[in-house]
């Protein structure tokens, strides 16, 4: 009996020492300086007078100088005297706020939606990035079919159109929405949408070629009786590491929302590979394994889904709470230290997170729009060649509609360890008793104000282990099981309570 007791005590002390070492290591990780969004350029359109900026698009390296470029759609009304153009700005260390090329719509005086664009890595096989500019309301015989103008890049590009692809039906309003190498031949392909409410929407892919042609290579059609509208489209990322980019879209109808992912392949299929009932976003390689990842909105929030050779759409990491999750916008801003921004369209803020595997879901900086709600906020590449991706914001406020604000991530001198020391201690908000525990733990949220709330438990790698509901008194109980009912291993876990008022965290220790 004494011998068994001695072994149990030794086991207990060994586990406890291991956990203490983990806590010490966690609290003494090298401090990182935080980053913040800092305004570096303001582009203002003053000619023509009263012009407004309607869109901002990253378009790759159109002039083949090794730097990312930027396209801005400029519009001036009224309709019978309208002016529409695409202003192209070359990126580089000498970036300035004057356009280098101006593309002008061919039906001036009548609004045709000209000026928004999509960059293509290489559509015509000459080794240079290319540009597609839409005129979604371009009309032949008053039919509003839509038209897209392709301009092939070079070291000395011009504004001459090299290829035109037209919509075919009445009110197609067709235009290119994104690009990617969907058939894996090394050339960029163009993904088109014709969101036609009169005759039914259609989606198209025109494959790149040397030279490319105007023959559609892939078509997906909806019947007009289905009452489907096409929302955001997604593509240009390889989620399963097979060398083919994926593509997908949001389809809305009176029966509900559907979100499709199609895998790229040699011969493109009209059969979807994955179907979800909430939004997703392709975001590039966050985990650093060479395969692109994506996010997925679910009932309790937004999750990171890791890409992989055996791709699934199961969530891997919980990221943040969202009680009515819509499309999530996640941006990789730097190559070395990936930064993620969360757009919250209710209070108009960007929330900045450090990322990696495992995730640190602590918000380290907030960028407040104030009352100037942004229409869009695309990552435009490294516009000034400083090695850091840049963000372009176009606001809707009347006094700001002629301007684009370009922000970059600038490292601050704030030490995160110093910052942590100024914050309230976690145990002041979320009480865990007993801690350590070996059967059941009661977790109580101090100052709970009511409303929907839940608690997530993560292991030390950041993997979600268990999700629990918090009752009206701010309490929940954990019996050391995971979401599949299996007992977890002894060790350190992180508890995170999510409420409509914010999040609270604590460390908990389970000892068998």
Residue with more model confidence, 479 or 398: 479
β strands within 226-362, DSSP E: 229-237, 246-253, 256-262, 274-276, 280-284, 293-298, 301-305, 317-320, 339-344, 349-354
380 contacts 390 by C-beta, under 8 angstroms: yes
Reported as a pLDDT band with limits 50, 70 and 90, residue 338 is low
> Which of the 8 DSSP states describes residue 266?
S
Mean pLDDT, residues 145-150 taken together = 96
pLDDT at 391 over 50: yes
Domains identified in the chain and CATH numbers: 34-411 (2.130.10.10), 429-510 (2.60.40.1930)
What is d(CA 121, CA 214) in angstroms, rounded to the nearest whole number? 18
In Å, how far from its chain's centre is CA 360? 17
Q: What is the pLDDT of residue 414?
A: 39
Residue with more model confidence, 287 or 324: 287
Reported as a pLDDT band with limits 50, 70 and 90, residue 218 is very high
Residue with more model confidence, 432 or 461: 432
Q: What is the pLDDT of residue 246?
A: 98
> Which of the 8 DSSP states describes residue 338?
-
What is d(CA 77, CA 512) in angstroms, rounded to the nearest whole number? 72
Q: What is the pLDDT of residue 422?
A: 30
In tens, the pLDDT along 256-295 reads 899 999 999 999 999 999 999 988 888 888 777 889 988 8
In tens, the pLDDT along 69-83 reads 999 999 887 656 678
> Which of the 8 DSSP states describes residue 398?
G
Strands 33-44 and 403-415, how do they pair?
antiparallel
Q: What is the pLDDT of residue 461?
A: 65
- Please identify which residue in the block is written with the tokens 């009511």: 450
Residue with more model confidence, 456 or 159: 159
- Please identify which residue in the block is written with the tokens 């960029």: 188
pLDDT at 337 over 50: no
453 contacts 459 by C-beta, under 8 angstroms: no
285 contacts 239 by C-beta, under 8 angstroms: no
Reported as a pLDDT band with limits 50, 70 and 90, residue 420 is very low
In Å, how far from its chain's centre is CA 71? 20
Here the tokens at position 237 are 């990322």
Q: Specify the range with the lowest mean pLDDT, choosing from 214-223, 303-312, 496-505.
A: 496-505
Q: What is the pLDDT of residue 325?
A: 44
pLDDT at 19 over 80: no
Mean pLDDT, residues 181-189 taken together = 98
DSSP lists the bridge partners of residue 349 as 344, 368
Residue (of 477, 484, 486) closest to 508 by Cα position: 477
In tens, the pLDDT along 244-257 reads 999 999 999 888 89
Residue with more model confidence, 418 or 23: 23
What is d(CA 55, CA 477) in angstroms, rounded to the nearest whole number? 50
In tens, the pLDDT along 84-110 reads 999 999 999 999 999 999 999 886 667
Q: What is the pLDDT of residue 265?
A: 97
In tens, the pLDDT along 466-499 reads 999 888 888 899 999 998 899 998 887 888 887 7
In Å, how far from its chain's centre is CA 388? 17
What is d(CA 66, CA 60) in angstroms, rounded to the nearest whole number? 9
Average pLDDT over the chain, rounded to an integer: 80
Q: Residue 487 — φ and ψ, nearest 5°?
A: -65, 140
Any idea of the CA torsion for 448, 344, 349, 391, to the nearest 10 degrees? 150
Reported as a pLDDT band with limits 50, 70 and 90, residue 209 is very high
Reported as a pLDDT band with limits 50, 70 and 90, residue 348 is low
Residues whose CB falls within 8 Å of the CB of residue 18, separated by 6 or more in sequence, listed in order: 491
What is d(CA 350, CA 332) in angstroms, rounded to the nearest whole number? 14
HEC readout, 416-457? HHHHHHHCCCHHHCEEEECCCECCCEEEEECCCCCCCEEEEE
Reported as a pLDDT band with limits 50, 70 and 90, residue 505 is confident
Mean pLDDT, residues 174-198 taken together = 95
* CA triple 334-379-406, angle to 5 deg: 100
Q: What is the pLDDT of residue 190?
A: 98
* CA triple 308-266-234, angle to 5 deg: 55
């Amino acid at each position: 009996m004494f011998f068994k007791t001695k072994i149990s005590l030794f086991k207990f002390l060994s586990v406890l020492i291991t956990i203490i070492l983990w806590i010490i290591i966690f609290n003494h990780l090298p401090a990182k300086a935080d980053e913040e969004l800092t305004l570096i350029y303001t582009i203002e359109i003053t000619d023509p007078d009263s012009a407004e900026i309607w869109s901002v698009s990253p378009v790759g390296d159109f002039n083949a100088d090794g730097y990312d470029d930027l396209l801005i759609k400029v519009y001036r009304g009224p309709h019978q005297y309208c002016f529409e153009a695409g202003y192209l700005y070359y990126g580089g260390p000498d970036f300035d706020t004057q356009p280098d090329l101006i593309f002008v719509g061919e039906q001036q005086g009548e609004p045709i939606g000209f000026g928004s664009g999509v960059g293509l890595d290489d559509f015509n096989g000459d080794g240079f990035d290319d540009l597609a500019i839409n005129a979604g309301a371009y009309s032949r015989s008053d039919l509003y079919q839509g038209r897209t103008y392709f301009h092939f890049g070079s070291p000395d590009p011009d504004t001459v159109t090299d290829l035109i692809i037209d919509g075919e039906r009445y009110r197609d309003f067709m235009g290119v929405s994104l690009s990617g190498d969907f058939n894996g031949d090394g050339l960029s392909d163009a993904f088109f949408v014709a969101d036609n409410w009169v005759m039914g929407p259609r989606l198209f892919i025109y494959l790149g070629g040397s030279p490319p042609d105007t023959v559609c290579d892939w078509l997906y059609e909806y019947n007009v009786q289905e009452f489907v509208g096409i929302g955001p489209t997604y593509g240009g990322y390889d989620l399963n590491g097979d060398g083919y980019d994926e593509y997908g879209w949001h389809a809305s109808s009176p029966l509900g929302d559907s979100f499709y992912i199609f895998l790229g392949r040699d011969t493109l299929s009209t059969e979807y590979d994955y179907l979800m009932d909430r939004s997703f976003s392709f975001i590039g390689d966050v985990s650093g394994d060479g395969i692109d990842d994506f996010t997925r909105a679910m009932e309790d929030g937004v999750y990171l889904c890791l890409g992989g050779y055996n791709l699934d759409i199961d969530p891997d990491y919980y990221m943040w709470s969202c009680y009515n999750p819509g499309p999530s916008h996640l941006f990789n801003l730097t190559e070395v230290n990936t930064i993620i921004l969360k757009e919250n369209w209710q209070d108009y803020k960007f929330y900045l997170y450090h990322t990696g595997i495992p995730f640190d879901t602590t918000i380290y900086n907030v960028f407040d729009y104030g009352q100037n709600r942004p229409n869009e906020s695309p990552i435009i590449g490294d516009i000034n060649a400083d090695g850091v991706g840049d963000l372009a914001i176009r606001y809707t406020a009347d006094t700001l509609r002629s301007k684009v604000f370009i922000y970059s991530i600038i490292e601050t001198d704030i030490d995160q360890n110093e910052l942590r020391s100024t914050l309230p201690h976690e145990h002041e908000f979320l009480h865990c008793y007993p801690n350590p525990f070996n059967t059941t733990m009661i977790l109580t949220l101090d100052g709970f104000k009511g409303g929907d709330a839940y608690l997530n438990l993560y292991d030390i790698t950041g993997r979600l282990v268990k999700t629990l509901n918090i009752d009206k008194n701010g309490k929940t109980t954990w019996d050391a099981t995971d979401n599949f009912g299996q007992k977890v291993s002894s060790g350190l876990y992180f508890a995170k309570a999510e409420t409509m008022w914010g999040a609270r965290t604590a460390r908990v220790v389970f000892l068998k």
